[in-house]
Structure 1
Amino acid sequence: MTDRLSRRTILGITSGAIGSGIAGCLTGNSQEDDTTGHDHTDNHSDEGDHNESQDEETHSHGHGGELDSPSAEAEVTMATTESGAHFEPHVVWIETGGRVTWINESGSHSTTAYHPDNEEPQLVPDEAAAWDSGVLSAQEATFDHTFETEGVYHYYCTPHETAGMIGSVIVGQPDLETQPALEEPPSEKAESVREKLTGLNDTIRGALDNDRSDSEQNETESHDEHDH
């Protein structure tokens, strides 16, 4: 099984920790929240804190930044801040067979694939495996998933989906025209979710289009140098 919880996670998912963690995940008055997060307003900021050192290590940037090239591994933090609940960075790009590790920085969060096995619309490649961390409440709890299938993957936090806590993983060099994740967002989802998915898709398409343009330009320059 490619997914695994760290020993820190195991310590963090007792019933008491989950209860206190969910309360700690609130962005406002703790009495205004329930454990589903469906009554949250969309207070997720697209201009959340930007971790430059993490960007350099994973070759990716937060939402609204630039995505470079795929790396073997990537780390994504999960946090509750004054501006809302966040995955940071929102989008990571890894090689086929690469691994993503989610780290719970604060609050209570999950990383859960949009996959029929999770009773969700399919926003992952055909034949791709599902994952679901469950709600992680312990600080620094981690969850890993290895991505064996090339493509684009969308995932969400179960308590904070409608508050905009949604992220994406690009694996390899996928064909944009064959990705379920890049199709029109599911009509049954809340408008805040559909808007977030649309923004992520724009970021992903832009990154992959730029990468292909750079590759074509480099190939042309290489041929020109050879001809001379």
Structure 2
Amino acid sequence: MSYPQLTRRKLLEGTAGLAVAGLAGCSAPSGSAQQQAGGDDHPGHGQEEPGHDTVSEPAASREVVVNTARSEGSTEYHFDPHVTWVEVGGTVTWRLESGSHTTTAYHPDNDQPRLVPEGAAAWDSGTMSEEGETFEHTFETPGVYHYLCTPHESLGMIATVIVGDPHLEDQRALQTMPENKSEEVQGKLEELNTIVRDIMSDDQHEEETHSDDGHGHDEATHTETDQHAEETDAHHDEETHT
């Protein structure tokens, strides 16, 4: 399964690129059990839709739209966007647009495997059923957090919050794949892990590029100039002494 190049400034606006992977729509088409676990038919996802946001940089607050979209032969369950990035101490607000859903952390307090940082607080909205209903959670611990909709987890309604600028090699969410979950759920988690790694890798690359183009380049040029000047002075002193 291949993914388009993702950057921290534009995470597949409209999430059309992830529809092929089955993640963008979190769809449960009518038909076989295999199709219900996540088919490739996602009508309408080639267009921009409200809530299909871009991941640019951490913010103090973000909103995630939660909804059920129905079209002919298909029902799609959304956390939108699928990856959200906030600052340490930032707040995510989930707003129910349609359907009945939860936002529930992968945390032992919720009878789930831990796919959030050690020491991080759990959250569970309970079932939200009224249009416009909201639930919010403030993230005090940097890291990567996976979460789910309890009734629709098996249909791929899973998403992620990145908090701060975490070291990916220390993130349990990226390093641990729960064994007691179905292949469909594990596949969605791995897709999210891939997106997170790409976002953070591009972010680190931009910072390194900025450093090289700025102070790093100037410092190297300055060092070479000083060395040339010292060699010239030494040669001049030797000729004068001779």
Instruction: Mark yes or no: TM-score above 0.5.
Output: yes
Q: Which residue of 1 aligns with 2:19?
A: none
Match of 2:121 in 1: 129
Q: Distance in 2 between matches of 1:179 and 1:86?
A: 25
The answer for the alignment partner of 1:74 in structure 2 is 62
Is 1:41 the equivalent of 2:36?
Answer: yes
Q: 2:186 corresponds to which residue?
A: 194
Q: 1:154 aligns with which of 134, 146, 151?
A: 146
CA drift at 1:52: 6.6
Contact persistence 2:104–2:149 (CA under 8 A): yes
Counterpart Cα distance in 2 of 1:72 and 1:218: 24
User: Given residue 79 of structure 1, which amino acid in structure 2 is its aligned partner?
Assistant: N
Distance (Å, rounded) in 1 between the aligned partners of 2:41 and 2:90: 26
CA contact (8 A) 1:110 1:135 kept: yes
Q: How much does 1:53 deviate?
A: 6.6
Same amino acid, percent of matched pairs: 47
3-state SS in 2 of match to 1:160: helix
Instruction: Provide the residue aligned with 2:238 in structure 1.
Output: none
Conservation of the 8 A alpha-carbon contact between 1:125 and 1:153: yes
How far off its partner does 1:182 sit?
0.2
Residues 45, 77 of structure 1: alpha-carbon distance in 2 compared, 3 angstrom cutoff? farther
Q: Which deviates further from its counterpart, 181-190 or 195-204?
A: 181-190
Which whole-Å deviations, capped at 9, do the CAs of 1:1-43 have from their partners, x for residues lacking one? xxxxxxxxxxxxxxxxxxxxxxxxx9678xx9xxxxx999223
Is 1:164 paired with 2:139?
Answer: no
- TM-score, structure 1 as length reference: 0.74
- Distance change >3 Å, CA 102–CA 172, structure 1 → 2: same
Q: In 1, Cα distance between the equivalents of 2:171 and 2:179? A: 17
**Cα distance, 1:112 vs. partner?**
0.1
Q: Which residue of 2 is the match for residue 221 of structure 1? A: 213
1:113 aligns with 2:105: yes
Q: Superposition RMSD on alpha carbons, in Å?
A: 2.7
Pick the structure with greater CA Rg: 2
Q: Number of residues paired by the alignment?
A: 187
Question: 2:12 maps to which residue?
Answer: none
State whether residues 44 and 86 of structure 1, in contact with CA within 8 Å, keep that contact through their aligned partners in structure 2: no
Selected match of 2:195 from 190, 200, 203: 203
* Equivalent residues of 1:152, 1:171 under 8 A apart: yes
CA-CA distance at 1:69 after TM superposition: 1.2
Q: Quick one: structure 1 residues 52 and 215, their matched pair in 2 at CA, closer, same or farther if it must change by over 3 Å?
A: farther
Structure 1, gaps ≥5 residues long:
1-25, 33-37, 62-66
Asked if 1 retains the 8 angstrom alpha-carbon contact of 2:106 and 2:113, the reply is yes
1:159 match: secondary structure: helix
CA contact (8 A) 1:43 1:163 kept: yes
TM-score by length of 2: 0.70
**What are the superposed Cα offsets for residues 74-127 of structure 1, whole Å, 9 maximum, x if unpaired?**
110111113411100000111000000000000000000000000110000010
- Indicate which of 89, 97, 100 corresponds to 1:97: 89
The alpha carbon displacement at 1:225 in A equals: 4.5
Bigger shift: residues 215-224 or 201-210: 215-224
Distance 1:103 1:135 in 2: 12
Distance 1:143 1:193, change over 3 A: same
Larger relative contact order (Cα-Cα within 8 Å, sequence gap ≥ 6): 1
